[in-house]
Structure 1
């Protein structure tokens, strides 16, 4: 049965045919297997949620006869106990204790069911109503409630798991059902391809990759504990750990997803007018996120042409999937974005590729596989095996012979939702640049998973140089030669080397190397001197 709902708070069609079929996990009657996705779109106000659930038929009217005699708080508690307690007195007592720890039923309900939990937590901090300790407590409580309300069997359940086909070591995994967030770009290739090509399954995981709309959503979902692991921009774990752009939240960069793989794309109306960085003066330029290699590389490039990135141009965050539409509409004149959106702009005759970022810094990191300190601590065996699967997938993707197969697998609607020829052009490096040239650049994108500590030091040096928050916080955090300390705290280089060796790869023994960029050379042992020299040379 499909019903159409149009209330003050929701407007959608819902397939209720699965309500008569017991859930294969918990035995209860509820929405289909993807009901957790639907819950994310439900009203934020608990009373509205109860009303809509009743209208949808998920809860029968007689289940809420007490509504005439109890207040809203009682209704909130009833729904929490019904969904999280599942009729088990011990679980109900745990739920009530968690609510108490959260500071009341309202806070607990918002933490468990609010579809913008990241904003809930962020607003709590910004309002200053709670101490950092209370914030972290609420975060933990919210994660615990979310766990209780999903339909996975509880520790006391008798459900048996068939491990007859499980790979070696799978019985040691703390968690096998995983949700891994990704942005639909080619940088996420190892994370995405591991689902259709079986790398997750090989290591004993029932893993689902979850498409996210923006990097802000990835960050908020990470803080809220809504995902197990995630595809992140390489600077994000450093920024989040230092509390830049959000409250401080410990994240580890476990392995690098891709090197190179980005480009500066310019609207077609500027053909013949753009020859170097100085020609971008006055432009509106899109980047996917403030704390991204895209923003840092763009600033580095513009500054060499005498352009002050904070005064002579306007740089703003644009979700990659929106970049071409904004380029066509004239909202932005150019962008430095991940692929396939540079190649897609050429395909749509909307823009031309001015410069691949591998020309700015050959072998630079872009995106990474990451997980929170808290999740890693709670699931050490799972984290190790998951990272190993990603590293092995990256090695597979690094082989040019495998890329046509990968392009076909990740182009599907559930993943990149792009024409296969566009994705294949990026992965193989055989492409048209929009200027009438056919290029053959096999290393347009690479998949070397090794997280060099020199990458971390360069990223930190540019965060210091540009002070993106404008409050000097990053200078304080990395002052007094703390570049190495920050890098080793966030980049898990030693573990990545160990896991790469286990899957037959040959990672470097060193953790630092001199990085050669287009306009200078970076000595990772002297990051602050590098920043000082840049400012002296270019004035910014």
Structure 2
């Protein structure tokens, strides 16, 4: 790739947050410059990463993709068809022309408007009705063969019902996103008839803003985010649905090495600066829950700062933060780099707690109901695969490369297999340090909402627990899709949640909050 092309691409297609410098030029802001400092220096590799991250304008990539993919597919199909049935090739060409392309012809031939499509082809093309009817089934068979080639488990009817098949799903490079990420290299999306590009995002704020702007089809989100965004907490109110849970457990409280001999429990965090990935995250709610049990007020006795996960180890290294409750693999990466130790894995705070989720906007779901079911089904299918211990090493290898997590495979494997060192000289074997259970329990939504109320993120008057859970967590749909995959999901929607210091009864969240305040004074 020539430097001239790179310069044109960067100038015309890429917009950074720029600030004027004393030198008279413009430079990237600190956050962006730090982020791009970790990007590859080789132009070809850099372009590949920028494409993955969605930096190049979608219409440019779409045009390039359409030219090559459509031409190749049509050449392939028409060449095969003309070789076997030269007299019937014109009807296939006419069908493709009427539909606006081969992809559209596949959908039209088997979708709900199939009869209208055939009628329009007949009316507009130079074919008699009899000639058309005698040849259409042969042409449709070829289209159907192409649509399902490589996916024998998919019917042409299922393929044809999808509103769109080319999707962009944003993700943060953490192990919590395992089902979303691995579904691309391990072909779970392809299995369900989808062509998905997973797009690496720099921060949760970027995910939120891209969701609201409609720049992505679906997203990897922290499980409290669909609640906060739908309710307009910290952003414009925008209806988001939590479709399935990405991971349970999978976080840790990591502390800088200089506190190895002094930090024993929650009270010892007083005066610390603590990093969490986002204000509306399980990480923020869990660290607050833990600190309060030591008598600390998280609003006054410590400073809790949002830190993009990819920046967390560097911030811990230079002393910008003293500790963090972060998603992996960054806790394990801190141990790997010799700059921090694991004080506690989040499984100890709440076994089976939710962390991240797969989500989509209500407007996108309404416009693409069948596609939404297909992509959610692919995620649930992938999560089930990831839940099996024997698959974890394979998954670690698949998601570690630069275009995904960009982490040493041994660090990712330590998290996924649960065989890890804690930085204090101890070695552990905890297979469910991180686990994958896509079922979105309504009780998760209730607990999250209770803590948003407890810490003044959400007015108590606005905490309609049942409505929030039912409107935002798509529990019934997740159950239905899991059953279609042959899984045996729970039939209940609520359960009692057992945490380290108490038990949460979803039938009375207000009483739970009051009991917490009375017991710990915060």
TM-score computed with the length of structure 2 as normaliser:
0.75
Distance change in 2, residues 1:43/1:256 (3 Å): closer
| Aligned residue pairs, count | 409
Q: Give 1:239 deviation, angstroms.
A: 0.5
Counterpart for residue 13 of structure 2: 39
Structure 1 residues 350 and 502: CA distance shift in structure 2, 3 A: same
Partners of 2:349 and 2:241 in 1: how far apart?
A: 26
When structure 1 is superposed on structure 2, of 148-157 and 254-263 the one drifting more is 148-157
SS at match of 1:163: helix
Which residue in the other structure is 2:505 paired with?
523
Q: Check if 1:170 corresponds to 2:112.
A: no
Deviation at 1:489, TM superposition (A): 0.4
- Is the CA contact (8 Å cut-off) linking 1:497 and 1:508 kept in structure 2? yes
The one-character-per-residue Cα deviations of 1:88-119 (angstroms, maximum 9, x if unpaired) are xxxxxxxxxxxxxxxxxxxxxxxxxxx99xxx
**What secondary structure does 2:297 align onto?**
coil
Counterpart of 2:462 in structure 1 is: 477
Where do residues 65-84 of structure 1 align in structure 2 (5 Å cutoff)? none
Partner of 1:92: none
Report the CA distance shift for 1:270/1:505 in structure 2 as closer, same or farther (over 3 A): same
Rounded to whole Å, the distance in 2 between the matches of 1:536 and 1:231 is 36
Who is 1:53 aligned against? none
CA 282–488 in structure 1, closer or farther in 2 if over 3 Å, else same: same
Cα separation, partners in 2 of 1:148 and 1:259, compared to 1, 3 Å: same
Q: 1:369 aligns with which of 358, 370, 376?
A: 358
Distance 1:285 1:149 in 2: 40
Listed one character per residue, the Cα deviations across residues 219-273 of structure 1 (whole Å, up to 9, x for unaligned) are 0000000000000000000001100010100000000000000000000011021
Query: Would the aligned equivalents of 2:148 and 2:159 in 1 still touch at CA under 8 Å?
Result: no
**Change over 3 Å in CA distance of 1:43–1:437 after alignment to 2:** closer
Q: 2:473 aligns with which of 491, 499, 505?
A: 491
Q: Which runs of 4+ in 1 moved over 2 A?
A: 1-5, 12-15, 37-44, 145-158, 473-476
Structure 1 segment 34-433 matched on structure 2, within 5 A: 39-41=13-15, 151=63, 158-161=100-103, 162-165=146-149, 167-168=154-155, 169-433=158-422
Deviation at 1:163, TM superposition (A): 1.5
Structure 2 CA distance for aligned equivalents of residues 42 and 221 of structure 1: 15
CA contact (8 A) 1:244 1:474 kept: no
**Partner residue in 2 for 1:2:** 2
Q: Assess, with a 3 A threshold, how the Cα gap between structure 1 residues 157 and 146 changes in structure 2: closer, same or farther.
A: farther
Displacement of 1:164: 4.3
Counterpart of 1:441 (choices 430, 433, 439) is 430
Q: What displacement does 1:41 show? A: 2.6
| C-alpha RMSD of matched pairs (Å) | 2.4
Q: Decide whether the 8 Å contact of 1:262 with 1:356 is kept in 2.
A: yes
Question: Aligned partners of 2:244, 2:417: CA distance in 1, in Å?
Answer: 22
What whole-Å deviation, never above 9, does each CA across 1:296-346 have from its counterpart, x for those lacking one?
000000000001000000001000000000001000000000000000000
> Hey, what does 1:74 align to over in structure 2?
none
Query: Per-residue displacement from partner, 1:152-203 (whole Å, max 9, x unpaired)?
Result: 8799873212524263212111010100000000000000000000000011
Q: Which has the larger radius of gyration?
A: 2
Whole-angstrom CA distance in 2 between matches of 1:457 and 1:259: 16
Distance change >3 Å, CA 284–CA 378, structure 1 → 2 = same
Please report how far the alpha carbon of residue 474 of structure 1 lies from its aligned counterpart in structure 2 after TM superposition: 3.3
Unaligned runs of 5+ in 1: 6-11, 16-34, 45-114, 117-144
* 1:446-476 CA distance string (max 9 Å, x none): 00000000000000000000013xxxx5323
2-structure distance, mates of 1:14, 1:398: 45
Q: Is residue 2–residue 14 contact of structure 1 (8 Å, CA) maintained in 2?
A: no
Deviation per CA, 1:412-452: give whole Å up to 9, x if none. 11000000100000000000000000011111000000000
Structure-2 residue corresponding to 1:122: none
Output the TM-score relative to the length of structure 1.
Answer: 0.73
2:254 & 2:521 partners in 1: Cα distance? 26
Write out per-residue CA displacement over residues 472-512 of structure 1, whole angstroms, 9 at most, x where no aligned residue.
x532321xxx1011111000000000111111111111100
Q: List runs of 5+ in structure 2 lacking aligned partners.
A: 19-53, 71-96, 104-145
